[in-house]
Structure 1
């Protein structure tokens, strides 16, 4: 397995099956041109097997931390350590960029994601609640 940091739209297009929905061209370009946005893709024999995205966030009194935005592993590659390797590689990238921490959100029922994140060193944060606002997409 080889993990690469992706900066080209064509690589995202070739790995489109790893995302929840087909990546849009404009959103992909915007994501890739922002130096605080990171996309890693795991390749097995040059086939995109999994991807992870992260976004750096800086706050005046905290410094910079990373949000693990999305993790996706092709069904045929699940259970082979691809997700854990991607999360670990993302954490290594964030450490190298001076981030003080990494966090993510997943559903309580998503046993596979929880196991992957725990195997990669993540721990649940007790007493936290997630609130969301949804706006129309334009």
Structure 2
């Protein structure tokens, strides 16, 4: 397995099977061109097998932390440590960028994700409630 940062929209389009939908070129370019955005792709035999995205967030009184935005592993490659390796690679990237911490929101019943994050060294910080706004009704 080889984990590399995505640098071009074409790389994201080649890995779009790992996303919830198609990787639109204009959104891919915007993501990759935005400071603080990270997309790491795991390749197995040259084929995208998993991805993790992260976004740096800075606050005046806290500094910068990394949000693990999304993690995905191709169904045929699951249970092989790819998700854990991607998560750890994002932790390493966050450290290299000077982030003081990293966090992820995950559904409390998503056992595979919880197991992956625990195996990658995440600590349980307790339950929280998330609220959202749909801006495209």
SS of residue matched to 2:89:
helix
- Which residue pairs with 2:31 in the alignment? 31
1:74 aligns with 2:74: yes
1:4 aligns with 2:20: no
Give deviations 1:75-123, integer Å, cap 9, x for gaps: 0000000000000000000001000000111111211111001100112
Task: Compute the TM-score of the two structures, normalised by the length of structure 1.
Answer: 0.96
- Which residue pairs with 2:112 in the alignment? 112
Find the aligned partners of 1:4 and 1:126 in 2 and give their Cα distance. 32
Moved beyond 2 Å, runs of 4+: none
Task: Compute the TM-score of the two structures, normalised by the length of structure 2.
Answer: 0.96
Give deviations 1:41-67, integer Å, cap 9, x for gaps: 000110100000000000000000000
- Which residue pairs with 2:54 in the alignment? 54
Unaligned runs of 5+ in 1: none
- Which residue pairs with 2:132 in the alignment? 132
Give the superposition deviation at 1:127: 4.3
Number of residue pairs aligned between Structure 1 and Structure 2: 137
SS of residue matched to 1:84:
helix
Give the superposition deviation at 1:128: 2.2
SS of residue matched to 1:69:
strand
Unaligned runs of 5+ in 2: none
Instruction: Please give the root-mean-square deviation of Cα atoms over the aligned residues, in Å.
Output: 1.1
SS of residue matched to 1:12:
helix
